[in-house]
Amino acid sequence: MKKIVRAAALLFLVGSVGYYLWYGLGDRGRTNYGIDALSWVGPQMIWPIVAVSVVVVCFALTGDSVLSAFTGRNSAAFRQGAVGIGTVRSVRQTGMTLNDQPEVRIDLGVEGADGETFESHARMIVPLTELALLRPGVVLPVRYLPDRTDKVEIDRSGDMSTAQDALNRSMIRQGITTPGKLDIAARGIPVQAVVQSLSVPGEIRNGNSKVELGLAVTRPDGTTFTTRVEKFLPPRSVGHVQVGRVVTVYYLPANEQEVVIALPANV
C-alpha cells in the first residue's frame, strides 16, 4: 500500500509538471490570452504546486513510524522479522509530530536471535506521557531483518511469549540466569517474600552486579521458610531488593531452597 500511494503521488507530480512545461513551452499564454508571460505564470501553476504538496503529505503519512502509529502494527517489511532484544542507547526527537505526539529516533544496541550484536536505530511516534519512559538502559523487543541491521522496529505484535523467549535466551547467553531457573519461573508457585539481608560481593557480569539476598518466603498456606538467592541485577534494579522490600518469587514445593525472584526488565 505504501508503495502504491507514493507511486501515485509521484505520477501525479510528473503529470502536473509535464502539463506546466507543455503549457509554457507551447506558448499557450500567447495563444489563449495574447500575452507571452502568461505561458508560465497563471492558473497552470496550480497543478504543480498542488502536486508537490500531495507528494510531501503522502511521503510523510506513509512513513513507517506514522503507519505504525495509525495501525498499531509493524510495517509489512518487518512484520515477520526476527525478534531481538534492544537496549536503548539514546533517544532524540526528529522534529516531526503526529497529533502533537513527537516522532523519536531511538539508538539501540541489539542482540539478535542467534546472539549476534549490532548497533541500530528505530523511529516511532511516542505519546508525550510515555516519552520519559524511553531512557538509556531500557530493554525493548525489536523486529529486525538479518540482511539489513542498520534499521529495526520496536516490536508491536503484542506477542509477549516471543519477546520473553528472546529475553530469556539473551539472559542465558549472558550468564545472568540458567534454564533451570527459567523452568522454576515457568512452573513454580508465585508467592511473596521479604528481603531480610542484602550483600554485594562485587562480581559484575555484562554490566550487572551480583547480589546475594536472604529471603523470608511466605507459602500459600501462610507459613514461611527462609532461603538465600544469588542474582545479577542492573544497577537501577538494586533499589528494588533492599532490606525490607516485598518481592514476588517463584518456587517449586519439592525444592524450596531454589527460589527465583521476578522483577520487571525495566524497573
CA nearest neighbour of 265 among 141, 83, 102: 141
pLDDT computed for residue 40 by the predictor? 66
**Which residue ranges in the chain fall short of pLDDT 50?**
none
Per residue in 84-111, pLDDT (tens digit) is 999 999 999 988 888 888 989 999 999 9
Length of the chain: 267
User: For the chain, which residues make up each domain, given as ranges?
Assistant: 2-62, 76-159, 175-262
Q: Could you check whether 76-159 and 175-262 share the same CATH topology?
A: yes
pLDDT computed for residue 79 by the predictor? 86
pLDDT computed for residue 120 by the predictor? 96
DSSP 219: P
Number of H helices, E strands in the chain: 6, 11
Asked whether the whole model's pTM tops 0.75, one would answer: no
pLDDT computed for residue 219 by the predictor? 95
- What architecture does CATH give domain 175-262? Beta Barrel (2.40)
pLDDT computed for residue 128 by the predictor? 85
- What architecture does CATH give domain 76-159? Beta Barrel (2.40)
Per residue in 185-213, pLDDT (tens digit) is 999 999 999 999 999 998 988 888 899 99
pLDDT computed for residue 11 by the predictor? 83
Backbone angles phi, psi at 240, to 5 degrees: -85, 0
CB-based burial, 119-153: b 16+ in 10 Å, e otherwise: ebebbbbbeeeeeeebeeebbbbbbbeeeebeebb
pLDDT computed for residue 33 by the predictor? 54
Helix segments in 77-209, DSSP class H: 160-174, 179-187
148-154 and 189-199 beta bridge pairing: unpaired
